[in-house]
Structure formats: structure tokens, C-alpha cells
Structure 1
């Protein structure tokens, strides 16, 4: 009888393998995109070109700070807080993301079973680590995935910080 070969490492792709990356991206991008079109009054080709330029500069189409960098929104940013102006679209974007951010059926149980068998799990993604780390935590896989390979994160836009300020009493 032939002995079974021990598998000590499993390498998986994250996007569109364990969850529907496109559904998450589309449902979070579309409300912002539609509102940029509505608010700006710019022709579609100009909107698309400006958004594409930001995505190319930041090396990702998953860019949280798109509103802060789309060139023709500068006059709005000068007049008022851009996030307040787009609050409804941002909230719709977050709802869409959260509604679609779910693992395919049986992925969670399968990965836990694989992990519990002693196999190391390595994940690969083309999404930047900021976004991928968030998703792994939301999926409950941050203790299951041993190693995450992802591109380097983009820089933060000028004047934006992710650090949390302590509340004053």
C-alpha cells in the first residue's frame, strides 16, 4: 500500500477564490462613482480619465481616498469637507462592501480543517495589505492564514492620517 504524501503548506489566492472580490469592489465603488458624476457635471470620459489617473498613481482601484484626489473635485474640496458632501455615497459604499464581503460557502470550515490538520496556509493577493488585512479580520481568518503576500500599501494622501487621536475628557 502506498503511503500518502503529507501536505505541509497550502498556498491560496484570496481574490475571487475564497470570496467574490469583484462584487465587493463594484458595490463599494459604484455609489462613489455615480455621485462623482452627479455632483461634478463632467462628461463621462473626463470622469473616467480622472479616476483612472488616481488609480494608476496609487497602483490600485481599491483606493479609499479617491474623493481627496480626483482633480476636478478640487473646487468642492476648497469650499467644503468632501467627505461630508459625499456622505450618502460613502455610506452606500460601505453598506455595499459589507453586504458583499463574505466567504464562499464552506471556505471558512475548510480552511480551519486544513489549519487544524497541521498545514501552514499561505495567502496571495494582488490587493494591498491594508485592504487584505481588513478582509481577513472580517472573515475571521486572521488566525488561520499564517502568511499573507500582498503588494506594498500606497502612501497616504497629504494631510490624511490613519492614527486615532485619544478622546479628551
Structure 2
């Protein structure tokens, strides 16, 4: 079966928004309690750093907060260790694939379907989640933005050799830094690079604007992962908007796309990822 399935990752294969919210909330609550900083000041400084690095999950945000640098000098990580521990505990508890994803990916590959993942999340974070979620065994190709620069001290906090942090089965390829969905040209370049035809390709994602609209602009069969749409979870989404790297224009475009009828998917998965099997003829 010469077919290509390109899947979004965050909120399509796992609940990224819940994972981010639980981790960031746990870290923030502890950091604010330790430091006594005003919550709004904390969020504002986090937002500035996220804007700088182009990601809302910058792993070293505490170390670069101006207020914490003034308070603790070069001892920020030491002072914030319990906050970091809170983040890691929440991550361990909440990093899970959606039900049915693992089995569906296995059936797709058994049927000869080539599977590629296309995400906006940067390499450092996507790589970690692929390894921990077992996706390194399930996905043939991963396309993500190149990474932001890492602080010099990152090597000193890693416990294992560099080889332990590499994907072993999935081939990790990169899209240009600073490019965001919806970008039909990148989607088309992925299809061409993998030597497939547009008519043999299916694209699935949870975001009407970034995923469905992008696929439609590229004339690729689009599938809306409605089960993963998370913007309606107001508490999570509101906190994300407070500290996001998104520009106001990006937020406004996404809100417009959520208006009923603004973007109409060709196919919709209402319950879970495994519904893709019928669409793929499996």
C-alpha cells in the first residue's frame, strides 16, 4: 500500500495542552511560593522569554527570569529545585498517548502505510516526548523546527551520553526555524521529499486553522482530529495565552478559525485516532 499518512503530534497523538498546563501550573505555583513574586509579574516575564525562544515550553525559563536572577544570582536552579521537581512529577503523570493511538499506528504500518509526523514543537521537546511515548518505534519520519540555542549548562545537567538522547528508529528531519503552520508549502515539500503523490497522502490534525486549512490549501486530503481540540478548556487555554510565544495576530487568527463554519473539514474523527483506519481503507 503506497500511502502516506502525515499526522500532527500535539493534541493529535497526545493531549499536549493538558500536559503543558499541568506541568507549567505545578512549576509556577511552587516557584511563586518560594520567591514571593507576584503571579502576574511571573507570567509576564515568562511570556517575554517564551517570545525570545519561540516556544511556550522553554525548559530553562526559571533560570532566565530577570526577577530570579536579581534574587538568586547564579543560584537560581538550586533555589528552584523543588519547582523543577514539581514540573517533572506532573510531566511523568500526564505524558500519555491518547487511547487507541499506539494500536492504530501499528495497524497502519503493518498495512504498509508510511507514517510521518509534522509538528511546530521544537526538536528538543519533541524528541523527548517521542522517546518517552514510544513513538520512536511507531513513526517513520518526524519533521519539526530546528532547536533554539541551549544554555551552556545543559550538558552539565544531562545524566547520560549524547547518544541516549537521539531517536533510534524515527528519522528526524527539520523544517526552517521560525516557520509556523499553516504553511502548505512545507507540507508539500514533505510529501515531495518522501516521494509520494498528493493523491496518496492524508493529513490529520486537531487544529482547524493550522492543520485542516493548511491541508486544504495544499490539496491534500484533510482529517480533523476533533477529539483533540482543546481550546474550549478555558482555564488551560487562558493560562497558555498569558505566557505564550504566539503573537496577538496568531491568537486572533486562531479564534477566527474556531467560529462555526469558518473552516469545514473533509473528514472528522470524533472519538479517537483509530477512526483514521477506516479513512485509510484498513
Instruction: Establish whether TM, by shorter chain, passes 0.5.
Output: yes
Change in Cα spacing, 1:162 to 1:116, as seen in structure 2 (3 Å) is farther
Cα deviation for residue 77 of structure 1 reads 3.3
For the residue of structure 1 that corresponds to 2:117, the secondary structure is: strand
Contact between 1:68 and 1:77, CA under 8 Å: does it hold in 2? no
Residues 1:71 and 2:66 are matched in the alignment: yes
1:7-29 CA deviation, whole Å, 9 max, x = no partner? 51101111111110011111111
Contact between 1:28 and 1:96, CA under 8 Å: does it hold in 2? yes
Of residues 125, 130, 140, the one that matches 1:136 is: 130
Contact between 2:26 and 2:83, CA under 8 Å: does it hold in 1? yes
Residues 1:28 and 2:19 are matched in the alignment: no
1:110-130 CA deviation, whole Å, 9 max, x = no partner? 101111211110101111111
CA distance in structure 2 between the partners assigned to 1:57 and 1:7 by the alignment: 41
Change in Cα spacing, 1:96 to 1:57, as seen in structure 2 (3 Å) is same
Of residues 43, 46, 51, the one that matches 1:51 is: 46
Contact between 1:125 and 1:149, CA under 8 Å: does it hold in 2? yes
- Bigger mean CA offset, 33-42 vs 68-77: 33-42
Q: Which has the higher contact order (CA 8 A, sep 6+)?
A: 1
CA distance in structure 2 between the partners assigned to 1:67 and 1:42 by the alignment: 12
1:116-156 CA deviation, whole Å, 9 max, x = no partner? 21111010111111111111111111032111111221111
CA distance in structure 2 between the partners assigned to 1:34 and 1:116 by the alignment: 45
Residues 1:39 and 2:55 are matched in the alignment: no
Residues 1:112 and 2:106 are matched in the alignment: yes
Give the corresponding residue for 1:3.
none
Give the corresponding residue for 1:18.
13
- Bigger mean CA offset, 82-91 vs 61-70: 82-91
1:72-125 CA deviation, whole Å, 9 max, x = no partner? 1113332x6322212222112111111110011110011011112111101011
Runs of 5+ unmatched residues, structure 2: 161-282
Runs of 5+ unmatched residues, structure 1: 1-5
TM-score under structure 2 length normalisation: 0.53
TM-score under structure 1 length normalisation: 0.85
Contact between 1:51 and 1:70, CA under 8 Å: does it hold in 2? yes
CA distance in structure 2 between the partners assigned to 1:40 and 1:86 by the alignment: 9
